[in-house]
Structure 1
């Protein structure tokens, strides 16, 4: 008798940093430039989400309410940053602070072709520094899961973030 394949377990980790002094920063390499998109462009965020997230099965935003997503991107509580390497989009991150105190790294990642180049730690360091530089920030948090890049959780921890909650689903 053959048993049906079991659904794989999905683990989600929630991490936080409560003190900017905890940041173990890695400097941006000279060939990696990061710019904030000071003029919101929903279509750019959608493109970046697809570019970076396709390999990690980011699909929830593509299937959801596009007007709600647009409103989030265009709100004063949201900021988008793009990383460039030699003129190409190397990655991006989005910060979201709806309560004026807790900044979520809403999305973070590298574009295909830029993984393994040593950009992950420096870009995450920059994301954390930008979050802490946002006036009123008291805490930075993020969540990641077992579908993400195998080094994602270690990168968050290496930069000084700590796990405060873990969920396992799919059993």
Structure 2
């Protein structure tokens, strides 16, 4: 248990407040159109495709890095699991979104990753994709749809998830190596989070 007050974060590390959210019954969604020129599809993802989209959606702006640290075999095991579903939005042959639904825990679905590249932000694509995620999750026999977000993600993420029908249930503090210091992401990634060298 952390005591009240300030706690130094070692140089070279990131400190994040993680918020856990859940939905225990399907929320109502308002129909919104998929923006013109976009198509939605399920992806049979290989490691190269996944790492590319993962980095373009979350690595450059928001320091998504967890899956970039995985060895090839570990990532392949996740992506090839029939209980993990990967989807994207595409335009002009380029994949511009990542929706990952993880049904590996019986009775639950984790919204493992959800995001858009910057050129789709503000187009209504996020709302359309979230509505689709909610419908896809609750088509399965689940009683809980859940996710985590943190303070280095988009500042709009937490409020977006709450507006989508998720309820915050818990918070934790996560300390991790800064992926820019590890060379996993370029030093220019995550411009909203100062880079402190060890």
Match of 1:33 in 2: 39
Matched, 1:107 2:105: no
Matched, 1:12 2:18: yes
Structure 1 unaligned segments of length 5 or more: list them. Answer: 1-5
Structure 2 unaligned segments of length 5 or more: list them. Answer: 1-7, 176-198
Q: Which stretch of structure 1 is more off in the superposition, 59-68 or 23-32?
A: 23-32
Task: For residues 61-101 of structure 1, give each alpha carbon's deviation from its aligned partner in whole angstroms, at most 9, with x where no partner exists.
Answer: 21233211110110111010011245432312111111231
Matched, 1:43 2:48: yes
Match of 1:61 in 2: 67
Q: Which stretch of structure 1 is more off in the superposition, 149-158 or 7-16?
A: 7-16
Matched, 1:142 2:147: yes
Aligned-residue CA RMSD in angstroms? Answer: 2.0
Q: Give the direction of change, closer, same or farther, for the CA distance of 1:15–1:28 in structure 2 (3 Å limit).
A: farther
**Deviation beyond 4 Å, 4+ runs, structure 1:** 6-9
Match of 2:127 in 1: 121
Q: Secondary structure at the match of 2:152?
A: coil
Q: Give the direction of change, closer, same or farther, for the CA distance of 1:25–1:92 in structure 2 (3 Å limit).
A: farther
Say if 2:53 and 2:96, in contact at 8 Å, map to a contact too.
no
Q: Secondary structure at the match of 1:43?
A: helix
Under a length normalisation based on structure 1, what TM-score does the superposition of the two structures give?
A: 0.84
Match of 1:3 in 2: none
Match of 1:167 in 2: 172
- The alpha-carbon deviation at position 11 of structure 1 amounts to 1.3
